[in-house]
Structure formats: structure tokens, C-alpha cells
Structure 1
Amino acid sequence: MTEPEHVDANALAGPLSEILSVDLTAAERRCSVCGACGVFAELHVTVDGPGLVASCPVCRTLVLRLVRTPDSVWVDLGGTGVVRVRLET
């Protein structure tokens, strides 16, 4: 069996810059655990730790973690499921 062809991660630069340059609070999301749909603005965010932690308002699954260090921003979207950002045409 042959390995599937792939390109390096530079191929993601353009598409990600389109998505991350918009306000995600209006982006539609679906929880990876319970399937609840809504917009990012509806997530429950905890701000009393070293960063921000967002969870699903229905099942409380961890959806996003964001931590800022002096020289970086770390983002974990492990529980996000899917995100839909509508693009202006």
C-alpha cells in the first residue's frame, strides 16, 4: 500500500488566515460530544485561571483553552467539534 500524497502545512496558511481574521463570536459551532449547535458567543467561559477556558453550555465539555504567555498565545480547540465561519461574498 502506498502512502497518500500530502503537502506541508504551509498549505493551511491562507485558509486559516481567512478564518482567524474574523470575529469568531458569531461563528456557528457544534459540540463534539453532545452535538449541541449554537454560536461561539454562547459558550461558557471561565476566566479565573491562568487563561480562558470555554465549555459547551449544554454538556459542559471543554471546547477551547487559550493561554497567553509573554511571547505567545496557546490555543487548544480539541473539543470544538466543528466550526462554521460564513464568508462574505
Structure 2
Amino acid sequence: MTTPYTYATTTPDDRYLDGNALAGILSNLLPGDPTLHECRCGTCHSTEPLARALVYLDCPGTVIRCPHCSAVMLQLTTTPTGTYLTVTADTTLRFPSKP
């Protein structure tokens, strides 16, 4: 069940993009439209599509935070040797089953 949506109030509005900014890079890593995959925050346990995540591009790599509590959920780093997707403690991504 999706939690009613509110942005985290402790996050400055001018520093982040929404999760749609992840579509390009994650489409190479995840099946289907990656912004529609549900992500459950390990801190506040809210579940939202990745499209609603707070995405910070001005970090070393890309940091994806929960839109409810602003906890770091994922980190995405691209290097010359590959792309690394780090999932923080107790955060989960759900990939829907094919019918």
C-alpha cells in the first residue's frame, strides 16, 4: 500500500530532482521502466515508486533519498569499470512479476 505523499521537510528544495532523473541510467540496470519500481525505505518503511524519490546529482555519484524522511536509500556510482548500485540497510526494491 502506498503512503500518502509528502516531501521530506528537512531537504532543501533547490538541491534535488525527482526520481525521473534516474530513468536513463537505471534502464540499463533494471527491467522495464525503473521509475515505476517500488522502493521501500529502510528507515521510515514508506513505499513509493522510484519516480518520487529525491535524487541528488551534486554528490560523489548519485544519492537517492526517501521522499518522506530523506534517509539515503540508494547510491549509484558510474566508474570506468562499471556501474555500482548500493542499497542501504533494510531498503528494498520490488520488481513486479510478469503475468
Task: Give the alignment's TM-score, normalised by structure 2.
Answer: 0.62
Runs of 4+ more than 3 Å apart: none
Q: Secondary structure at the match of 1:74?
A: strand
Structure with a larger share of its residues in helix: 1
**Per chain length, whose mean CA-contact separation is higher, i.e. which structure has more relative contact order (CA < 8 Å, sep 6+)?**
2
Question: Does residue 72 in structure 1 map to residue 82 in structure 2?
Answer: yes
- Find 2:73's aligned residue among 63, 69, 85: 63
Aligned twin of 2:57: 47
Aligned twin of 2:41: 31
Identify unmatched segments of 5+ residues in structure 1: 1-18
Distance (Å, rounded) in 2 between the aligned partners of 1:29 and 1:49: 21
Q: Secondary structure at the match of 2:58?
A: coil
User: Quick check: 1:55–1:63 contact (8 Å CA) kept in 2?
Assistant: yes
Paired residue type of 1:36 = S
**Higher alpha-carbon Rg:** 1
Task: Give the alignment's TM-score, normalised by structure 1.
Answer: 0.68
Structure with a larger share of its residues in strand: 2
Distance (Å, rounded) in 1 between the aligned partners of 2:94 and 2:84: 21
Q: Secondary structure at the match of 1:25?
A: helix
User: Quick check: 1:68–1:74 contact (8 Å CA) kept in 2?
Assistant: yes
Percent of matched pairs sharing the same residue: 30
